[in-house]
A = this chain, B = another copy of it.
């Protein structure tokens, strides 16, 4: 059976060119004085330059970390440790790494406030404005939702943040849409490698030049003392290659995916009692997110999987938990609507054929599930 992967928002396979770059990477320790070390150091700095280039940052503004989760933790806690007290504004639809870091900071005496979103997942800018007070030192916003794909207007948000620093979690948008940190005016930015065909185990935190934060990992003083650890060079070199590829191919690939996604959405929405979650336009080109009346999302994922199609309900990070997605609830969906949702995320290997197969299989599964549904779809709707 052919297996179709529709969960690129969760993680992506390695691009073959990235793999090649990693395979040829040297193994030395960047901190060593000898030539093995110096070679490694050169690869590190060349990689940093490539990565910085994708978001118009300076190389010295890029700190390599092990994951977007670590970058998000470092952004929030690193700045909070520096500030010692005050409040942070986040949105109601953040990734768990922001939510849980914020929760932990609130146990340490910091005040955390959550800004509302509208039914499309767009941030309510006037709500952010209300939440920002004199002691607010940070506003942290997810750039594009990891669930529904809605993209926020960062420039507008930046404009009303006054003295507060702005961090964006660009884990889903980095490499998929153009990002210019100077133009957006953000102070901190998280980006991940394994969401854009780079290896797992590497990510970055952009820190605007001049902004001081505290490290989370203390030790040998790598990464300007902000992130100690032996440099994970093959992963960083791979990440850099993925950034270079994204820079060259983003526009074309994005257009291709948008076309496929729109074809998919059009087909899915022909199913009775199906709805699109998230913004109709301001969303990632590879993201489609639906909900279906009288459908339990996990059963749907399992049935699709049996038919060779990998999708998710909620994000991977929350798919193990049985609670309804906090993102979908924030959009105003009822728990049963949230539970009846499906995320379909496309990527480089997605073809028109895959979409057609999906559109062939999905209505049948929905139908079967509704037949056995305790909610008696048929009688209620006829």
Contacts and interface: CB of A to CB of B under 8 A. Distances in A.
Copies in the complex: 2
Interface stretch (A155-163, A179-187, A195-203): A195-203
A234 B200 contact: yes
Contacts of A68: 229-230
A27 to B, nearest CB: 5
A196 to B, nearest CB: 13
Contact of A298 (B33, B311, B320): B33
A219 B72 contact: yes
B32 A217 contact: no
Interface stretch (A95-103, A123-131, A253-261): A95-103
Contact of A220 (B12, B298, B317): B317
A66 interface: yes
Which bucket holds chain A's interface residue count? 35 or more
A216 interface: yes
A34 B310 contact: yes
A35 B312 CA distance: 11
Nearest to A227: B69
Contact of A218 (B104, B220, B234): B104
Contacts of A97: 217-220, 228-229
A199 B230 CA distance: 11
Contact of A32 (B33, B220, B304, B312): B312
19 contacts: A3-B35, A7-B29, A13-B27, A32-B312, A33-B305, A33-B319, A34-B304, A34-B305, A36-B310, A69-B217, A73-B216, A96-B220, A100-B218, A100-B221, A104-B218, A199-B234, A200-B232, A200-B233, A201-B202
